[in-house]
Amino acid sequence: MADNLKDKVALLTGGTSGIGLEVARQLVARGARVVLAGRSAPQGQAAAQALGGPEQVRFVAADVSQENQVQALVAETLAHFGRLDLLFNNAGAEGTPGPLVETPAQGIEDILATNVTGVLLVLKHALPALLAHGTGVVVNTASYIGTVMPFPVALPYGASKAAVLSITRGLAADPARQQDQLRVFAVCPWTTDTPMIDRLAGGNPKAKQQFATVNPSGQLATAANVAQVVVALFAGEADLPSGEAVLVDHGGATSRVQPMRYE
């Protein structure tokens, strides 16, 4: 039986490392064509070359907080592949954890610019392309932080990921979008073994493992765990209604997002 992702065109922001790169790898393995977007041209070009030739994988340098760059990203996707079917809105910034009173305004602005403004700008410019042929699938990356668990030392980050959840549900509830047959989801990874955790742990393996203690599994999720859920959502294999947000721990999806807990 033919894979329903074969020849689909996917745009992945934050696609040059971690979860985004693993999603790209799994999509390419199923025959999809992929545009990787990220800020680092050397990293992005190396990732694209490792995944396949230009007929299947293309890198486009873009900062999602800049509207002109987002417009150019979508335009180049369409110019190269002729269509857009799938969007992984994954670019994110974690900032530096710490008390809010010690967080500089610029640090807050940087997180919100990428994690909220960037998500909205990518949707603004990608939606017409996604719906040009009547259907489309969006997966936004949120987090357990700020959605099911408060994190006092990461208030701006948590606020940004709660916003991603609100954007996802709001877009799914839009009657106009329902007529267009858009499906939109969010993934909320528990602490995942990615370069972001390496940065937060300062390269210390023991500190890195401490991050895993917050996960229900007690283990760090893997980029592959999260990517498998994202790809299943793209392929319609997860059997979830549009607007759902899925928590992902070590081993894969765990549950739909429930209200925040405080214990």
User: Is 157 labeled as catalytic in the residue annotation?
Assistant: yes
Alpha-carbon distance of 258 to 170, in angstroms, equals 16
| Candidate list 81, 88, 144, 157, residue with the active-site label | 157
Domains of the chain: 9-256 (3.40.50.720)
Encode pLDDT of 214-242 as tens digits: 889 988 999 999 999 999 999 999 888 99
Sole residue written with tokens 């790209």: 24
Q: Over 83-121, what HEC string results?
A: CCCEEEECCCCCCCCCCHHHCCHHHHHHHHHHHHHHHHH
Encode pLDDT of 83-133 as tens digits: 999 999 999 998 888 899 999 999 999 999 999 999 999 999 999 999 998
Q: Residue 146 half-sphere exposure, CB side, CA atoms within 13 Å?
A: 20
Encode pLDDT of 167-199 as tens digits: 999 999 887 666 568 999 999 999 988 877 778
pLDDT of residue 87: 98
